Structure 1
Amino acid sequence: MLTLMIYPSAFGLFSASPFCVKAAYMLEHAGQRWQRSDMLDPRKMPHQKLPVLRTPERLVPDSDLIRDWLEAQGANFDTGLSDIQKAQARTLIRMAEEHIYFQVVQDRWANDEVWPILRKTFFSVIPALIRTPASNSIRKKVVQGLGFQGVGRFSPAERQDRLERDLEAISAYLWQSPYLLGDRPTSADMSVGPMLAAMRATPVETPLTQRIKQDRLLNDYVDRMEQAIPLP
C-alpha cells in the first residue's frame, strides 16, 4: 500500500497544507490504495518538505512529482480536455501554487493574531523550554522568505489587489461550469480548490478569509470540491 506523508489535519481541513490535500485528491482520483502518515518535521524528507509519497520503490517528494508518478501508473487527471484546456489547467495550477499560496502563507505566518494559534498547532512537540525561541526563529525565516519571494514586500492593499485579480480569473471560469474546466474536477481543481479552502480556513477572520466566505461562487466551489473527492 502507498503511504502519503503529510502535515496533520488543522483548522477543519484534511491537512494544514493545500499541497498535501492536492496529493490526497490525486491519489483518490487515481483509485490507488493508500494511507496517510502525519508528521510535523519534514527535515529528513527529500526536499525537506511535504507531501512525500512512499511507494514500493522509493520516496516521491513534491505534489507535481507525485502527479508524474501517478500518471506513469496510468492515472489521467485531465480526461477529455483539449490541448488548450490542458494548457489552461497548467496556468491555473501555477497561479494557485506560485502566487495565491504565498498570500495564504503571509496571512498566517506574518499575522500577529494568527501566529499564537499556529505556534500552538504546529510546535507543541517542541519541549516547552525552547518552544518559544525555536518557533519564533522558524517564523522569522518564513517571513523573510516571503520577502525574498516578493509577496511580503507589498502593502496589505497592494497584496489584496493582486489577489483580487487572481480570484476574478478563477471566478470567470466558474461562471461557465461547476468546476474550472468542465463538469468534473481536473488537475486544476485539485490545486486551486485546496488553496482556496486553506485561505478560507485561516483560524482568525482576515480580509482573505472573509473574501472567500462572502463570495457565494467561490465558497460553494470549495464545498463542491470537498464533496466531489471525499478524503478518508
Structure 2
Amino acid sequence: MITLITYQAGFGQLSFSPFCVKAMWLLQAAGVDWQREDSNDPRKFPYAKLPAIRTPSGIIGDSHNIQANLEKQGADFWGDVTDRATGHAFIRMAEEHMYFHVVLDRWGNDDIWPIIRENYFAEIPAFLRRPITGSLRKALLKGLKTQGLGRFSQAERLQRIEPDLAAIAARLGDHAYLMGDEISLPDYSVAAMLCAALASPLPTPFSERVANDDVLSNYAARVENRMKPL
C-alpha cells in the first residue's frame, strides 16, 4: 500500500496544501490502495517539502514526481484528451502563478497570519511559536519579493490573477471540466488552487472573486466532490 505523507487537513480542505490535495486526487484517480500520514515537518522528506509518498521502492517527493510514478505503474490521467499542450499550460499557470497568490493571501495578510500561525504550527510550544514562525514568515515573504509577486499590493495582485481566472472560465465554457466533459490531469492542479483560494480563513479580494464567480466556484466544488477519498 502507498502511504501519502501530507500536511494536515484544515479550513475545510483535505490538507492545508493544494499540492497535497492534488496528490490525494491523483491517488484516487489512479485507483491504487493508499493511506495518509500527516506531518507538519517536511525537512526529512525529498526536497524538504510535502507531499511525498512512501512506496515499497522508497520515498518519492513532489506532486509531479508522484504523478510520474503513478503513470509508470499504469495510471492514465489524460484519458482521451488530445490537446495536452493547452492542458499543460493550465497546470503551469495554476502551480507557478495562482499558487503564490494563495500563499500571499495566507502568509502576507496581517489579519490572516495569526490564524495560519496557530493552525499550521499548533505542535510548536506556545512560548516558541511566535519567534519561530515569525522567522519562517519573514523568510518566505522575502522569497516572494525576490520572485516578484510579493512586491505588489493586494489590489495589484488581484489585477494580475484576473486573466488567469478569466482563462479558466473561458476554457470551461459549457463543459464540466477544463478539457471537456471528463475530468483529467489539469483539473487536479487548477481546481486544487481554486479550492485553496476559497478556503481562505478570512475573506480576501482573491477569495471573494472566486466565490462570487459561479463558473469558477461550481467547477471547484464539482472536482472536489468528484475526487473525495472513499
TM bucket, shorter chain: over 0.9
Residue 33 (structure 2) aligns with: 33
Question: Given the alignment of the two structures, is residue 196 of structure 1 paired with residue 194 of structure 2, yes or no?
Answer: yes
Q: Does the Cα contact within 8 Å between 1:14 and 1:231 map onto a contact in 2?
A: no
Residue 20 (structure 2) aligns with: 20
After TM superposition, the score normalised by the length of structure 1 is 0.97
Alignment of 1:5-16 (within 5 A): 5-16=5-16
Residue 99 (structure 1) aligns with: 97
Q: Deviations over 1:10-63 (max 9, x none)?
A: 100000100001011010000000000001111111100000011100111000
Q: Does the Cα contact within 8 Å between 1:199 and 1:209 map onto a contact in 2?
A: yes
Alignment of 1:1-232 (within 5 A): 1-82=1-82, 85-232=83-230
Percent identical across equivalent pairs? 48
* Aligned-pair CA distance for 1:157: 2.5
SS at match of 2:36: strand
* Aligned-pair CA distance for 1:121: 0.2
User: What RMSD in Å do the two structures reach over aligned CA positions?
Assistant: 0.8
Query: Unaligned 5+ residue runs, structure 2?
Result: none
Q: For residues 135 and 229 of structure 1, what CA distance do their matches in structure 2 show?
A: 33
* Aligned-pair CA distance for 1:169: 0.4
- Matched letter for residue 199 of structure 2: A
* Aligned-pair CA distance for 1:227: 1.5
* Aligned-pair CA distance for 1:180: 0.2
SS at match of 2:76: coil
- Matched letter for residue 95 of structure 1: M
* Aligned-pair CA distance for 1:6: 0.4
> Would you say how many aligned residue pairs link Structure 1 and Structure 2?
230
Q: For residues 86 and 187 of structure 2, what CA distance do their matches in structure 1 show?
A: 12
* Aligned-pair CA distance for 1:182: 0.8
Q: Deviations over 1:183-209 (max 9, x none)?
A: 111100000001000001010011111
Q: For residues 129 and 30 of structure 2, what CA distance do their matches in structure 1 show?
A: 40
Q: Does the Cα contact within 8 Å between 2:101 and 2:157 map onto a contact in 1?
A: yes
Q: For residues 220 and 55 of structure 1, what CA distance do their matches in structure 2 show?
A: 35
Moved over 4 A (4+): none
Q: Does the Cα contact within 8 Å between 1:5 and 1:36 map onto a contact in 2?
A: yes
SS at match of 2:44: coil
After TM superposition, the score normalised by the length of structure 2 is 0.98
* Aligned-pair CA distance for 1:160: 0.9
- Matched letter for residue 184 of structure 1: E
Q: Does the Cα contact within 8 Å between 1:212 and 1:218 map onto a contact in 2?
A: yes
Q: For residues 219 and 130 of structure 1, what CA distance do their matches in structure 2 show?
A: 38
Question: Greater shift after overlay, 171-180 or 5-14?
Answer: 171-180
SS at match of 1:65: helix
Query: Unaligned 5+ residue runs, structure 1?
Result: none
Question: Greater shift after overlay, 124-133 or 166-175?
Answer: 124-133
- Matched letter for residue 23 of structure 2: A
- Matched letter for residue 186 of structure 2: A
SS at match of 1:43: helix
SS at match of 2:77: coil
- Matched letter for residue 85 of structure 2: A
